[in-house]
Amino acid sequence: MIVTSLKRSYRNLLDDVQRGARGLPAEMRLETITRGDWKKINASTLDGYLDFVVGTYDDMIVSAYRVDGVEDGPNGTIKFTGPSFWDERPAHDFLTPAGSNTSQVAGEWLIGCPIPGGPWRQGESRGTRRYPLEAYLADHPELAARVEEDFGGRMATNLIDHLATGKAIPLEDYPQLASATSAPGTAETGVTVVRQPGGTVVITIPTGTRAQLLIEPEGGMFG
């Protein structure tokens, strides 16, 4: 996966939806800001990562699109290319009730899930990171059942409406939102555990916290 940070642009999109501003449909704007333009990346380093490009906001995946290549943009930037959201949703889908499950959009199961690689860290100025899809599912095995699920083609737009206007959505379909309303987790303890590409595990704990690290034998938790 190519993971992108939409910290400012997604917030601007939410503000515009909240104000009822006219312009391009939210779906089109979301795809545009997710795909680029981003700082140029050496093509050789993208091998094995060109399956999905996802946009993230507030430690959550808010958009996901299939990607099969890159194209050069202005001022040394690139854009991630692939089938458009509009290509994947059948034309009749726009005429069906908002709650209907009528189309399976590739990658839609990722929306509402935790950010791959954990929260953005200081120094990631490029605004993108690469993270293997296989490693992400290993980090979050509880998400495996979502991969083949049909969410109806509106996960991203419903999330926009929820965050911008308070529209009710089924929180259980958005794991990151659901976890925020359930039992306290790492946000309260201040402890985070993130596996980086290549297998390195980064554990962050508050100053003064006693910690014990247990390394499983080969074939254990991180094998």
What is the C-alpha separation between 68 and 54, in angstroms, rounded?
A: 13
SS3 of residue 83 by DSSP = coil
- pTM for the full predicted model: 0.76
Whether the Cβ atoms of residue 171 and residue 149 lie closer than 8 Å to each other: no
Q: Does residue 34 have a pLDDT over 90?
A: yes
Query: Which has the closest alpha carbon to 61: 125, 123, 139?
Result: 139
**45 domain residue, yes or no:** yes
Q: What is the pLDDT of residue 202?
A: 65
Range of the domain at 31: 2-183
In angstroms, what CA-CA distances link 158 with 17, 87, 183?
12, 19, 24
**65 domain residue, yes or no:** yes
**179 domain residue, yes or no:** yes
Q: Does residue 86 have a pLDDT over 70?
A: no
Q: What is the pLDDT of residue 208?
A: 75
What is the C-alpha separation between 111 and 175, in angstroms, rounded?
A: 9
**211 domain residue, yes or no:** no
Residues 6+ apart with CB under 8 A from 163: 14
Q: Does residue 116 have a pLDDT over 90?
A: yes
Whether the Cβ atoms of residue 109 and residue 149 lie closer than 8 Å to each other: yes
Binned at pLDDT 50, 70 and 90, residue 60 comes out as very high
Backbone dihedral region of 222: left (phi > 0), alpha (psi from -120 to 50 degrees) or beta? alpha
Q: pLDDT by residue (tens digit) across 153-191? A: 899 999 999 999 999 999 999 999 998 765 444 445 667
**67 domain residue, yes or no:** yes
| Cα-to-chain-centroid distance, residue 87 | 20
Q: pLDDT by residue (tens digit) across 131-154? A: 999 999 999 999 999 999 999 889
| Residues belonging to the chain | 223
**9 domain residue, yes or no:** yes
**190 domain residue, yes or no:** no
Looking at the 3D structure of the chain, how many domains does it have?
Answer: 1
**221 domain residue, yes or no:** no
| Cα-to-chain-centroid distance, residue 136 | 11
Backbone dihedral region of 91: left (phi > 0), alpha (psi from -120 to 50 degrees) or beta? alpha
